[in-house]
Amino acid sequence: MIDMSILVDNWDMFLQGFGNTLKASLLALVGSFVLGTIIAVFRIAPLRPLNWLGTAYVEFIRNIPLILIVFLFFVGLPSVGVRLEPFVAGTLGLTVYTAAFIAETIRAGIQAVPKGQSEAARSSGLTYIQTMRYIILPQAIKLVIPPMGNQFINLVKNSSVLGVIAGLDLMYFGDLISAETFVTFDVYIFVGIFYLTLTLPLSLLVGYLERLLAKGR
């Protein structure tokens, strides 16, 4: 049987970790969406230097571990005089890492929009940026809502990396409670349940949006 007293006696710590995990996830979600959108536009921009920059970002970030990126912010930046709090370093690393995957998802959506719409917008006098902002991106993002939602679910789960650098998230407090109580199984069961309260509603929302969009086609 799971010892419920572990949850009751350490409720404040679990709740603080849950709040910080939620905060880091929301900040990284917004940041990765904005950065990923910019990188996606770079990858299909008519300027070759922007193509190279976008491609280099995606290929480099996607092919190295998330924890290495987090350590670059947490351990690497202090070597050049920039010190970040563990929570900030972890959230930035999570943002930068997830943005590479979001960029590829949005790029696929952009390429799925018929080229004639872009050509019509440009011929009507809109600039490239205006065409992307008002014509192409709204349609592209609508097309890739389901896969982008899955990336956001992965983001929430990946936020557990903050625990490695004492980022005050769920995993950090789970480790702390386990060390103090000498209980492991029960503690991490509760940690998993807290993660499920974040990921399950998001998964259901993604499924609902996917069905809704399928009906609208």
pLDDT for the residue 216: 59
pLDDT for the residue 211: 81
CB 70 within 8 A of CB 93: yes
**Hey, what's the torsion of the CAs at 39, 42, 43, 44, to 10 degrees?**
130
Query: Look-up: residue for tokens 């979600």?
Result: 29
What pLDDT, in 10s, does the model give residues 183-215? 999 999 999 999 999 999 989 988 888 787 777
Q: Residue 3 above 90 pLDDT?
A: no
CA distance 141 to 138: 5
- The shares of helix, strand and coil residues in the chain, as percent rounded to the nearest 5, are 85, 0, 15
What pLDDT, in 10s, does the model give residues 30-75? 999 999 999 999 998 888 899 999 999 999 999 999 999 999 999 9
Residue-range domains of the chain with CATH: 4-216 (1.10.3720.10)
- Closest of 204, 152, 162 to residue 24, by C-alpha: 162
What pLDDT, in 10s, does the model give residues 150-176? 899 999 999 999 999 999 999 999 999
Q: Which amino acid is at 143?
A: L
CA distance 6 to 131: 56
Sign (positive/negative) of CA torsion 44, 50, 54, 56? positive
Beta strands in the chain (DSSP E): none
- Closest of 172, 207, 205, 206 to residue 191, by C-alpha: 172
What pLDDT, in 10s, does the model give residues 70-108? 999 999 999 888 999 999 999 999 999 999 999 999 999
Residue 127 CA, distance from chain mean position: 30
